[in-house]
Amino acid sequence: MSLLTSVLAMRPLAVRQEDGSLPGEPLPLLEGLIWFVITPVAISALVWVLVSVFEKSEKKEVATKEPKRDILTSIE
């Protein structure tokens, strides 16, 4: 127990800042909403639309081709 207290006594408990820099001005409400709500939702919606478009085009290509006959999936 004395070892633990001596180690804790040697380390300062305060948080050290690296170079003393301070945070900048906070974002206005509208700008914060644009960056952290509207932009991620728009990117997600764009990805969803692109994936669904490419998925539909692949399904059309597969539907136009004649399906392969496979020994495992056909019954004779």
Is a pLDDT exceeding 60 seen at residue 6? yes
pTM recorded for the entire structure? 0.51
Is a pLDDT exceeding 80 seen at residue 50? yes
Summarised one tens digit per residue, pLDDT across range 14-42 is 666 567 778 889 999 999 999 999 999 99
Report how far apart the first and last C-alpha atoms of the chain are (Å, whole number). 79
Alpha carbons within 13 angstroms on the beta-carbon side of residue 27 total: 8
